[in-house]
Amino acid sequence: MKLDLITKETIKTQLGITDTIYDSLISSMIPIVSSDIRRILSYNFDIYMGAMITNGSDEIYISSVRPVEMGQVLHSPALSDDTYVKEYDMTSGKYKISSVAIADGTYVYPTINISMWPSISKMLCYKCEKMTTGAAKEEMLRMVTFGNVRKDFAESEINKFYDYPSIFIKDLGRPFVTMG
């Protein structure tokens, strides 16, 4: 299991960032936002599933009673970062993944869904704006800039508990409920 739920490359793609000027800031904020996502969703993404992963194949078998969702990102040392489930074949029980395996492997950690990538990227952008804004510009802390588009958030739009715009939190979906 790893802390980062998303890669710098995926964030830059989602936000349309092509230069490298913000790379170190983005990289430093990924673990923070990933930790926040776990807290917001009340889920640690720490349940692994047995799997048969073959180096060079884009199909894997996951042995679990609980199905893996389409679009769910899978973490494993045998898979590239941000590899996700593209298809499921009920007859063979195999999942087709977005990139070929880079090694043989025996387990995966299902994590976030790719539908969360835009929201997580915006959350990271929001945190980065707060980190690069000086104390003299305190009133600017409630905004996000995407290229040449800027969105200001009213105080009422910021979730006081998590300190993110409420719309980003709602886009993540409902918190996970654990029974037990």
Domain ends where: 114, 144, 161? 114
* Residue 179 falls inside a structural domain: no
101 shares a domain with 61: yes
For the stretch 85-134, pLDDT in tens is 999 998 988 999 999 999 999 999 999 999 999 999 989 988 877 665 44
The whole-angstrom separation of Cα 73 and Cα 7 is: 11
Closest CA to 46 of 93, 87, 103, 5: 5
Structural domain range at position 95:
49-114
Total domain count for the chain?
2
Residues near 134 by Cβ (< 8 Å), separated by ≥ 6?
none
Look at residue 64 and tell me if it is in a domain: yes
89 vs 82: CA distance, rounded Å: 21
> According to the model, what pLDDT value does residue 86 have?
97
Examine the domain organization and report whether 99 and 74 are in the same domain: yes
Name the pTM for this structure: 0.81
Going by DSSP bridges, is the β-strand pair 158-159/149-152 parallel, antiparallel, or unpaired? unpaired
The mean per-residue pLDDT over the stretch 130-143 comes to 49
Do 22 and 105 have their domain in common?
no
Task: Output 57 or 134, whichever has higher pLDDT.
Answer: 57
Do the Cβ atoms of 157 and 165 come closer than 8 Å? yes
Are 156 and 167 contained in the same domain? yes
